[in-house]
């Protein structure tokens, strides 16, 4: 006679074992109708799950995050079923949930067209109306292999054969469609209210470029049509903000096949890059970082000593020369220790803060590269702090304060903090890990900011804090990090003379704020939709004449503003002023200065902002004051007047 405890603390007794669906029905018909799954003693289960003993029970609906995820995963199966109804020769592979949606990879003889996607979506709607029961079953491995071989599903056979162990496997069937899956799933296909297939792309089988190319069909599912519409609006907005499109439109950068994953920076884009770099350089110098530079080509033996070769070799580029193998550095850490190791260091020298804007190279599969967001050649705002165990907390606290101030300058007020603690496989004593984790916790608590604990996700060499930005569209962008490392300094022989004259190994804090310049600039472009705040804009001001008579005045004005330190362009073309205003507005120049006969006579200028706001006629000195204030505000939302 099971007794179940509900989330509100109330208890219900049942004479016989009951399913989650029956429990929901006993609570209310509305809840039974809304039930997508259940949570029994913390574990997600199907509504058909039989509860035979006392348990804590929660009914999962579309109002829960878990419910939405189950809905999306089940919708992936719905899509796969529709594909195989329309294209019986298509083989299904894997279909996981991703952020805001799902995908399924298919092997098929031709590329799916937009018309195919529309037909698949219509067929999904037909299956929803059929209201098919979704049933879980368990098969022995041999039975499962035999079943999928009979169905001609070669990829499923390969997946099953690669699963370690000999335990039975769970499957979900709806109508004629069956697939390997842990579940849980919605109880029937009638549960889907709002879904949309969004696009199709190529994807290598198991992410291996040496294997065959499959087709990845993406989709999304939501609890209501309203939620779906809002999401599609966000998608449309995201497409408008795509940094790759804006990069081309604004003449910032481009990519081409001759240098895959490596940006060609154009003058305007490189100017933004330089502004970001100069800003970071200034801030780090003010915070007592010593800037260094280390080689890009380093003998492979150093990467073997550091341990990177065994864990990272597939992502490293290497070259042969003089009967030696060199690696293009994928990161700066081992090289920074080489600088630390030059000369004897004392405890009085610690903490020692090193920074480098170091060019790094990593092999990214062609399918994973994405504009500036994921490249093969990038520059990290990399820094390493060599310190004692006792200095960890204060250094982390100081770093955090610096990082948050920098993010505010770039216009990001909402930062998500996550503390990742010791993984199962790690090096170093528990005592050392205790100290490091406590130091990071204390630093977080001292800041008084909310943070999430992520158990077991630390690096093998130490715990870490990750800092993620939330952009204007609510997307999470992981950028900054600080990691505690007990291992690398020891491996590479870093030592200092302690107060008692003994030799000790320093703790190494790996820290980054922007992550990489390339990716961060991509984030900035999308966050601002290319309309950079005045301090970041490659051209802050554009001067436009109405007729040739104002040319000399415009040239003198340009020189005046340049001498004041502003980035000024000029357009003296014999074009209508309305045409020039539209063109430079589209180029997202913050300030447009228009000069006609009246402005020349009065020694002023007509000022417009790129958002269309007309600021009227202003004296040159007043304009310079306004521009200087705008630049000084950086991108801070509380006082940023430029849009």
List the catalytic residues. 333, 362, 380, 382, 384, 464, 510
Cis peptide before 184 (omega within 30 of 0): yes
**Residue 483 near residue 509 (C-beta atoms within 8 A):** yes
**Residue 21 near residue 35 (C-beta atoms within 8 A):** yes
Helix (H) or strand (E) holding 290: strand 290-291
| Structural tokens at position 415 | 């930062």
Which residue from 56, 35, 45, 190 is spatially nearest to 125, judged by alpha carbons? 190
**Residue 401 near residue 288 (C-beta atoms within 8 A):** no
Nearest-5° Cα angle at 483, 478 to 486: 160
Q: Which residue has the tokens 């350089």?
A: 281
- Direct distance between the N- and C-terminal alpha carbons of the chain, in angstroms, rounded to an integer: 66
* Alpha-carbon gap, residue 170 to 183, rounded angstroms: 8
For 467, phi and psi rounded to 5 degrees?
-120, 120
Strands 3-5 and 11-13: antiparallel
**Residue 536 near residue 279 (C-beta atoms within 8 A):** no
Q: How many CA atoms lie within 13 A of 414 on its CB side?
A: 9
For 527, phi and psi rounded to 5 degrees?
-60, -45
**Residue 375 near residue 369 (C-beta atoms within 8 A):** yes
């Amino acid at each position: 006679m099971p007794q179940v405890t509900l989330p509100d603390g109330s208890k219900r007794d049942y004479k016989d074992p009951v399913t989650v669906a029956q429990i929901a029905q006993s609570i209310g018909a509305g809840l039974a109708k809304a039930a997508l799954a259940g949570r029994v003693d913390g574990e997600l289960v199907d509504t058909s799950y039989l509860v035979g003993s006392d348990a804590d029970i929660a009914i999962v609906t579309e109002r829960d995050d878990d419910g939405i995820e189950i809905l999306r995963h089940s919708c992936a199966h719905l899509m796969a079923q529709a594909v195989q109804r329309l294209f019986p020769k298509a083989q299904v592979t894997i279909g996981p949930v991703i952020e805001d949606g799902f995908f399924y990879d298919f092997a098929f003889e031709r590329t799916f067209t937009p018309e195919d996607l529309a037909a698949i979506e219509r067929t999904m709607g037909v299956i929803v109306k059929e209201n098919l029961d979704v049933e879980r079953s368990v098969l022995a491995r041999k039975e499962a292999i035999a079943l999928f071989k009979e169905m001609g599903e070669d990829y499923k056979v390969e997946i099953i054969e690669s699963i370690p162990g000999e335990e039975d496997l769970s499957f979900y069937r709806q109508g004629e469609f069956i697939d390997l899956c842990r579940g849980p799933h919605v109880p029937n296909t009638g549960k889907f209210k709002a879904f949309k297939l969004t696009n199709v792309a190529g994807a290598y089988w198991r992410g291996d470029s040496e294997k065959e190319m499959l087709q990845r069909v993406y989709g999304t599912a939501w609890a209501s049509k309203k939620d779906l519409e809002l999401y599609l609006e966000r998608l449309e907005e995201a497409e408008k903000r795509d940094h790759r499109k804006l990069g081309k439109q604004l003449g910032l950068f481009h990519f081409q096949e001759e240098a895959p994953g490596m940006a060609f920076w154009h003058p305007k884009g490189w100017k933004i890059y330089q502004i970001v770099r100069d800003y970071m350089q200034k801030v780090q110098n003010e915070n007592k970082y010593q800037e260094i530079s280390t080689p890009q080509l380093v003998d492979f033996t150093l990467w073997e000593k550091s341990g990177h070769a065994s864990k990272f070799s597939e992502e490293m580029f290497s070259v042969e020369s003089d009967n030696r193998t060199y690696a293009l550095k994928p990161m700066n850490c081992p090289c920074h220790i080489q600088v630390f190791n030059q000369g004897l260091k004392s405890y009085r020298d610690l903490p020692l803060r090193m920074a480098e804007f170091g060019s790094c190279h990593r092999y990214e599969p062609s399918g994973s590269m994405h504009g500036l967001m994921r490249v093969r050649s990038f520059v990290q705002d990399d820094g390493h702090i060599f310190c004692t165990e006792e200095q960890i907390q204060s250094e982390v606290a100081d770093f955090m304060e610096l990082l948050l101030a920098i993010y505010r300058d770039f216009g990001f007020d909402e930062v998500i903090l996550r503390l990742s603690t010791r993984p199962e496989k790690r090096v170093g004593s528990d005592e050392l890990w205790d100290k490091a984790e406590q130091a990071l916790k204390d630093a977080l608590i001292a800041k008084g900011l909310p943070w999430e604990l992520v158990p077991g996700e630390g690096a093998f060499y130490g715990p870490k804090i990750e800092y993620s930005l939330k952009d204007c569209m609510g997307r999470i962008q992981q950028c900054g990090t600080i990691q505690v490392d007990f291992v690398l300094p020891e491996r590479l022989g870093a030592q200092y003379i302690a107060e008692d004259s003994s030799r000790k190994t320093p703790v190494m804090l790996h820290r980054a704020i922007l992550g990489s310049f390339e990716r961060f600039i991509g984030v900035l472009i999308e966050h601002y939709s290319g309309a950079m705040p005045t301090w970041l804009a490659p051209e802050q001001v554009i001067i436009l004449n109405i007729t040739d008579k104002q040319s000399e005045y415009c040239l003198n004005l340009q020189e005046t503003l340049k001498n004041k330190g502003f980035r000024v362009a000029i357009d003296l073309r014999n074009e209508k002023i309305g045409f020039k205003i539209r063109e430079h507005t589209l180029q997202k120049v913050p300030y447009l200065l228009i000069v006609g006969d009246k402005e020349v006579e009065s020694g002023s200028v007509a000022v417009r902002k790129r958002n269309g706001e007309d600021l009227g006629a202003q004296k040159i000195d007043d304009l310079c004051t306004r521009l200087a204030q705008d630049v000084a505000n950086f991108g801070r939302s509380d006082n940023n007047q430029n849009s």
